[in-house]
Amino acid sequence: MSKTEPFEKDYDAYDAWFDENRNIYESEILAVRSLLPRSGRVVEIGVGSGRFASRLGIPEGVEPAVGISTLAAARGVRILRGCAECLPLGNETCDALLYVTTLCFVDDVDLTFAEAFRVLAPGGCVVLAFIPKDSRFGTLYDRLKQGNAFYREATFYATKEVLAALEKVGLRLVEAVQTLTGPPETANESIEPPSPGLDRGSFVVLRAGKAEKRSAPAR
């Protein structure tokens, strides 16, 4: 089974999770919003059903799975067909790229971040939300993923691995926030505002920037 196959057929079940876990979803929205730029061209990569893009005012998103993208389109998101490793975007044409739990589904992390660097304008940034492998949710999902059609083929990464991959292509960590710091069984009982850091949460959001171009030295 490919990583995108469940998102072609059973996407309604995936999308229903957000309604069934409303407080977790709202906690994640708050964390992403806290680091997302408020101006410029922002594109979500792996936009899925558009749950984040539509709430955060992001007008366009890249998605390889046709099925689930119909839900994003219905929520008003313009769909660009493509994948994280081969973005249908020109060089230096975006001010920010948003990835929400996309990293665990890509085939090549290094190529994903190299593509992000390519399409970002100087001074632009990546806002990356992910579930750390060693977090409480990460441990749970990794243990249960064989019985889950959506996460069966997923690969979770430790925070230090994500940071190293970003640094490798020249994207430097600017800020980090986290949420879902408690046990999974109580996470949906209330909305948890984001807190600074990346060492306690099961949902970590990083903002990593591309350096501004330096002007040529005067002669």
Tens-digit pLDDT profile for residues 128-148: 999 999 999 999 998 887 878
Q: Is the pLDDT of residue 215 over 60?
A: no
Distance CA 124, CA 86 (A): 19
Question: Residues 3-20: what's their mean pLDDT?
Answer: 89
| Entry pTM | 0.94
Evaluate whether residue 202 is within a structural domain.
yes
Instruction: Give the count of domains, the chain.
Output: 1
Residues forming a β-bridge with 60? 43, 78
Check residue 192 and give its pLDDT.
98
Distance CA 176, CA 208 (A): 9
Q: For the segment 16-32, what is each residue's pLDDT rounded down to a tens digit? A: 999 999 999 999 999 99
What is the share, in percent, of the chain residues with pLDDT greater than 90? 85
Distance CA 84, CA 64 (A): 9
Residue 203 neighbours by CB distance under 10 Å:
26
Evaluate whether residue 214 is within a structural domain.
no
Evaluate whether residue 215 is within a structural domain.
no
Check residue 214 and give its pLDDT.
61
Question: Residues 147-164: what's their mean pLDDT?
Answer: 90
Q: Is the pLDDT of residue 213 over 80?
A: no
Question: Residues 87-116: what's their mean pLDDT?
Answer: 97
Is 84:99 a contact under the CB 8 Å cutoff?
yes
Evaluate whether residue 219 is within a structural domain.
no
What pairing do the DSSP bridges indicate for beta strands 195-196 and 42-45?
unpaired
Is 67:9 a contact under the CB 8 Å cutoff?
yes
| CATH number where 19 lies | 3.40.50.150
Evaluate whether residue 76 is within a structural domain.
yes
Q: For the segment 39-87, what is each residue's pLDDT rounded down to a tens digit? A: 999 999 999 999 999 999 999 999 999 999 999 999 999 999 999 999 9
Q: Is the pLDDT of residue 4 over 90?
A: no
Check residue 150 and give its pLDDT.
80
Evaluate whether residue 196 is within a structural domain.
yes
Check residue 2 and give its pLDDT.
65
Range of the domain at 188: 5-209
